[in-house]
Amino acid sequence: MWYNAAGRLLPWRQTRDPYAIWVSEIMLQQTRVETVKDYYIRFLRELPDVYALAECPDERLLKLWEGLGYYSRVRNMKKAAVLITGEMQGQFPGDPAALRKLPGIGSYTAGAIASIAFQVPAAAVDGNVLRVFARMTALRENILLPAVKRRAEEELTALLSDLKHEEAGESGGLRIDGAGGSGNGRETDGYFEPGAFTQAMIELGALVCAPGPEPKCADCPVSGYCEAFRQGIAAELPVRIKNTARRVEQRTVFLVRDGDAVAVTRRPERGLLAGMYEFPNVTGCLSAEEAASYVARMGYEALRVRPLPRARHLFSHVEWQLAGYEIQIGQPHRTDTAWIFAEPDDIRSRYAIPSAFSAYTERIVNCDQIIS
């Protein structure tokens, strides 16, 4: 039983609670498994059910998510939680179509929740599964095209429907050996389960049918069914053709310090990193003199200015190239500014600073002394 023997023991694989599965799937979008583990455990410890999530204050919710990035994910989770606890009386829908109507739940997440939590024959096609599908079928089309992904979803859903009530091992075809039963490390009941198949496909793509030019075909439990392996073209697939490059933005970040306290400000409620706290920053790469002038325009005297190491952060469509300055200010202090002067402990525990600024946040939370 390949998946039961080889699959990783991950905390979200020990449950069929749709809420817990939902949390894990949203966290795992664009984020590495090892990073998610601690966030997942901490999140569920504080927000153990959909009611707790629906009632969580936004500021605390963003702090729990701090460092995971793509903050619209957790905002949509709360919106969905409010709908589930209100209109749905706290009951998660098991139907993929109903799940897709909830904020932030697309076809992959709907398929994952429906198949893993409810054993519905619905495909969950993420990058790992799409790569397996492309190699198994020797697909030479661009997998980044939405139509190609939809076709994979349709074909895998049809396969799941065919296998739903058959005993594991009898149907042949595209099958992960040992994908029946309730999950890795557990006894199987001898019957095919869509949730186990879903997780086995994801695990196969993560551990064996990996990206890059050297898939581990010799270790693959389904290489005998793989058309790309038969043709000797597994290393060439899948085809990925990106149509757009990231836009590059130069930004200058200011660590404005009043004693130990550091200035933070809140971003607008709409747009990139909406509603998050950040260090004051402007577009462009400023010199030290221009940085001091900017602080003066905000109503503060720059006593000392120290350049900080450069950093960069990648969003899906934008790359920030960051320059930074640590600036110690003196009198006078303004009271009509949008800046909040936060102590290091508040930045650690209260204000959610996006990972885009992590190079500068670490300087505050790990080194409290002021510049000299």
Output the CA–CA distances (angstroms, integers) from residue 301 to 286, 296, 312, 334, 372, in the order listed.
17, 6, 28, 11, 16
Backbone angles phi, psi at 79, to 5 degrees: -60, -45
E strand or H helix at 61, and its extent? Answer: helix 58-65
Spot the catalytic one: 25, 66, 153, 193.
25
Residues 225 and 173: beta-carbon distance below 8 Å: yes
Spatial distance between the Cα atoms of 181 and 289, rounded to a whole number of angstroms: 66
Helices (H) and strands (E) in the chain, counts: 15, 7
- Name 239's bridge partners: 142
Torsion of CA 2, 193, 234, 131, to 10 degrees: -130
Q: How far apart are CA 35 and CA 32, in angstroms?
A: 5
Could you give the CA distance from residue 313 to residue 307 in angstroms, rounded to a whole number? Answer: 18
User: CA–CA separation, 367 vs 359, rounded Å?
Assistant: 12
Looking at the DSSP bridge assignments, the partners of residue 329 are 302
Find all residues with CB under 8 Å of 210, minimum gap 6, and list them: 216
Helix or strand or coil: residue 281?
strand
- Residue 142 bridge partners (DSSP): 239
C-alpha distances out from residue 203 to 138, 193, 206, Å: 20, 16, 5
Q: How many CA atoms lie within 13 A of 235 on its CB side?
A: 5
25 catalytic? Reply is: yes
Distance CA 24, CA 297 (A): 45
Q: Name the residue among 203, 338, 336, 232 with its Cα closest to residue 280.
A: 338
Q: Tell me the catalytic residues.
A: 25
